[in-house]
Amino acid sequence: MAIVLSLESVEEFLDYWGDDTGHTTWRLTPSEVRVVLQQRPDFSRDTIAALPL
Protein backbone atom coordinates (compact mmCIF):
# COMPACT_ATOMS: atom_id res chain seq x y z
CA MET A 1 0.00 0.00 0.00
CA ALA A 2 2.88 2.37 0.70
CA ILE A 3 4.07 2.06 -2.90
CA VAL A 4 0.59 2.79 -4.22
CA LEU A 5 0.12 5.84 -2.00
CA SER A 6 3.53 7.31 -2.82
CA LEU A 7 3.10 7.42 -6.59
CA GLU A 8 3.47 10.66 -8.53
CA SER A 9 0.64 9.73 -10.90
CA VAL A 10 -1.97 7.03 -11.39
CA GLU A 11 -0.26 5.87 -14.58
CA GLU A 12 3.01 5.31 -12.69
CA PHE A 13 1.38 2.32 -10.98
CA LEU A 14 1.68 0.37 -14.23
CA ASP A 15 5.48 0.49 -13.79
CA TYR A 16 4.98 -1.74 -10.74
CA TRP A 17 2.05 -3.93 -11.85
CA GLY A 18 2.26 -6.91 -14.19
CA ASP A 19 4.30 -9.98 -15.04
CA ASP A 20 7.37 -8.18 -16.39
CA THR A 21 7.92 -5.74 -13.53
CA GLY A 22 10.40 -7.66 -11.41
CA HIS A 23 10.00 -9.60 -8.23
CA THR A 24 7.19 -7.70 -6.53
CA THR A 25 4.41 -10.03 -5.42
CA TRP A 26 1.20 -8.10 -4.96
CA ARG A 27 -1.22 -9.18 -2.29
CA LEU A 28 -3.78 -6.62 -3.36
CA THR A 29 -6.44 -7.44 -5.93
CA PRO A 30 -7.09 -5.00 -8.78
CA SER A 31 -10.20 -3.80 -6.93
CA GLU A 32 -8.21 -3.20 -3.76
CA VAL A 33 -5.57 -1.28 -5.71
CA ARG A 34 -8.27 1.01 -7.06
CA VAL A 35 -9.65 1.59 -3.56
CA VAL A 36 -6.19 2.52 -2.28
CA LEU A 37 -5.56 4.86 -5.24
CA GLN A 38 -8.88 6.58 -4.51
CA GLN A 39 -7.50 7.61 -1.12
CA ARG A 40 -5.44 10.20 -2.99
CA PRO A 41 -7.69 13.22 -3.63
CA ASP A 42 -5.36 14.43 -6.39
CA PHE A 43 -5.93 11.27 -8.46
CA SER A 44 -8.89 11.31 -10.85
CA ARG A 45 -11.42 8.53 -10.25
CA ASP A 46 -11.91 8.26 -14.02
CA THR A 47 -8.18 7.70 -14.53
CA ILE A 48 -8.12 5.11 -11.75
CA ALA A 49 -11.10 3.28 -13.26
CA ALA A 50 -9.40 3.23 -16.67
CA LEU A 51 -6.24 1.48 -15.43
CA PRO A 52 -5.79 -1.86 -17.22
CA LEU A 53 -5.30 -4.04 -14.13
Residue 40 near residue 8, CB atoms below 8 Å: no
The pTM score is 0.82
- What is the mean pLDDT for each group of 10 consecutive residues in the chain (53 residues)? 92 83 79 96 96 92
pLDDT at 20: 67
pLDDT at 21: 64
Residue 4: CA count within 13 A, CB half-sphere: 19
In which domain, by residue range, is 45 found? 2-50
Number of other CB atoms surrounding residue 21 within 10 Å: 11
* Count of domains for the chain: 1
